[in-house]
Amino acid sequence: MELNSDFNQRVAVHSASQAWLASPITGVDRRMLDRIGGEVARATSIVRYAPNSQFSPHIHTGGEEFLVLEGIFQDEHGDFAAGSYIRNPPESSHTPGSEKGCVIFVKLWQFDMADRNDVRIDTTQMLYCPIADLSLIHI
């Protein structure tokens, strides 16, 4: 599957207007924003976990990073509330789920394969630092 896969083209996706698509795990749905590949893919998605849903244990061969948008995401590494940024490097593993339900913004297979840095940040505890000179932002 290829969805918004030409990264030379600017694309805006209004995800709230997209239908939730079922994943292979009951209770876990997603809205695909970009994708190159099948079920294992380079992908950016919004994923919704219903209460008491859980994925099987798995390895993220190409790495994973996500931001918890709503609720509490859980795995054996902890409970992560809205505002938590998690970065699981290539070859990391976990058993994700959510007792109360959650929504996350997730990116898969977008790492340097030699990267092995785990990151856990509670962005709600970070200080806001405005950039005075917008010319410093490079997109």
Map out the domains of the chain with their CATH numbers. 2-123 (2.60.120.10)
Q: pLDDT by residue (tens digit) across 56-74? A: 999 999 999 999 999 999 9
Model pTM greater than 0.85? yes
Contacts of 13 (CB under 8 A, 6+ apart): 4, 33
Which amino acid belongs to residue 123? T
Q: pLDDT by residue (tens digit) across 88-120? A: 999 999 999 999 999 999 999 988 999 999 999
CB atoms within 10 A of CB 12: 5
Rounded to whole angstroms, the Cα distance separating 103 from 115 reads 26
Residue 46's Cβ-side half-sphere holds a number of Cα atoms within 13 Å equal to 13
Between the two ends of the chain, the Cα-to-Cα distance in Å is 27
CB 41 within 8 A of CB 35: yes
Residue 132 is predicted with a pLDDT of 66
